[in-house]
Amino acid sequence: MFLMGACGIAYEYTLSKIASDILGNSAHQWAIVIAIMLFCMGLGAEIQKYIVDRQVVSMLAGSQIVLAILGGYGAFALLYVFSAYPSHFVLVKYLLVSAVGVLVGFEIPLLTRLNEDFSKDVKSNLARILKMDYLGALLGALIWVFVLLRKFTMIEAGLLLALTTLLSALILIESFPEKLGRVRKWMLTALVMVTALIGVAWKQGTNWTQTAEQRLYKDKIIFSKTTRYQHVVLTQSHQGNLSCFINGHLQFNSVDEHMYHEHLVHPALQIAPRRDRILILGGGDGLALREILKYEDVETVTLVDLDPAMTDLARDNPYLQKLNQNSLNSPKVTTLKNEVLKDTSQKRVQIENSRGIQTGQTGELPEVYIFNMDAAQFLAQAPGRYDIIIVDFPDPNAPELANLYSQHFYGFLKKKLSADGIFVQQSTSPYHAKEAFLCIGRTMESAGLTAVPYHDNVPSFGEWGWWIGGPANLYTPKKVKSLLQSVPSLTDLTEYLTPELIKTALYFGKNQLSTEETAVNTLTNPCIHRYYLDAWKAY
């Protein structure tokens, strides 16, 4: 019961994670998957009453073997169906979740019936079985969170759970041979065969996954990795163009990413009274940093990206190195490895070289340093203020990302700005996701910031928008617009952006910024997520 309880909850988590990775909207997927599994566990408990006593062991062992097949190969099946037959994905997902739930639902009642031979008292029997189930569930949850999620892909996690399920079936078969009789040898044969199938899946898993995943992208996949936080894919076209996807969403294309990043960086750096200290939130690909390093008068840049795998990829991958012009391999870059965020005003810090190997030496505070941590936590803990803050988060397509567009977050951001500092944020499409775009501006204003919108067409994304501004007690929309309309020549800094384009970007079409909505995005009311999902449904 201890092993079965541990695997049961881990199967719930694994299927929920796979569904959210494929479809997004993680809170919705987790809630629905776990609710359906619990319901089907109840069905399994109801069905088991039709199993006669002499078949309890054989049915329980058999259900564990079938559960191992479904759990081990389920992730492959979901990925394949989503890539080959996307219209059937939801049906297959719920059939798989339901089947796993029914089989897990067999476990407690059948083991309770089996344990009646050893514990005649109903109270003691239930206490023993449920105690071990709950203890197993606790251990299973901890192992899933701190081991499987961090060290293995969800494909590998499913296969490891399958092997553990087969172990529980083996223990059951060997513990009660007299109750199985001649069926025992068939059970052992099935167990060996399924174990072999799991071994084949472990060996071929990478190839199977890549084959299925390639169906989802028109260009060749040259890199694919599921990190602790996200699934990252790089593709390359026949023309050599590089695209980056996170959880299936396009992040940039090398053909036009410079248009996006020049809009993100240069207007803010041009109108800020000072650009001594700059903070980048997100931007682990090093592309915004590439633009900032063009300014010789910048003294320090801090880049905060949650996922160390992303900054490592931008630093080490030759395709990204070429695109970001080795911005993360510059001698000016230092990665700070602190268990607790320390005062970055200190002049001597432990440093690492560009390959992440500790040098054992100390040096002057670097011009660029990187933290891999949550942006909101960084803003809450970091000492000092910044002359410019550049926010380059993914769109608010998940509840956890919606929190990074909240009034609470912008309150922290305002405190980190110097008295006359400038901030800028990428803010999704003002055309395709108009209400989400406008909600970002309202939320910024509710936190005491002045925010001015601007936009341009980036071919890979279509119409795209940004908000730029500063503390409301110093800047008015009129003043920010005036500064942007006075930007001098950018000849030596940009490939695309010009002062004339910046002026043009401030103008929107008739009624393009009009709305009847008044809600701001908060931690308790993440309305921007709803706006975003409603807007992109048609696409």
Active site residues: 392
Q: Which residue's structure tokens are 């965020």?
A: 341
Return the SS3 of 487: coil
Distance, CA of 513 to CA of 529 (rounded, Å) = 19
Distance, CA of 238 to CA of 236 (rounded, Å) = 7
| Under 8 Å between Cβ of 24 and 248 | yes
User: Who's near 202: CB < 8 A, 6+ residues apart?
Assistant: 156, 159
User: Who's near 374: CB < 8 A, 6+ residues apart?
Assistant: 306
Return the SS3 of 359: strand
Of 487, 79, 48, give the one whose Cα is nearest residue 272: 487
> 3-state DSSP helix/strand/coil percent for the chain, to nearest 5?
55, 15, 30
Q: Which residue's structure tokens are 């048609």?
A: 538
Strands (DSSP E) contained in 247-341 are 249-253, 277-282, 300-304, 333-335
Task: Please give the biggest Cα pair distance in the chain.
Answer: 89
Two structure tokens written together for 424: 């800028």
350 pairs with which residues across the strands?
Answer: 362
Label residue 27 exposed, middle or buried (CB < 10 Å: 0-12, 13-18, 19+).
middle
C-alpha angle 431-437-438 in degrees, rounded to nearest 5:
110
Pairing state between β 231-236 and 220-226: antiparallel
Helices 56-84 + 183-214 axis angle, to 10: 10
Return the SS3 of 315: helix
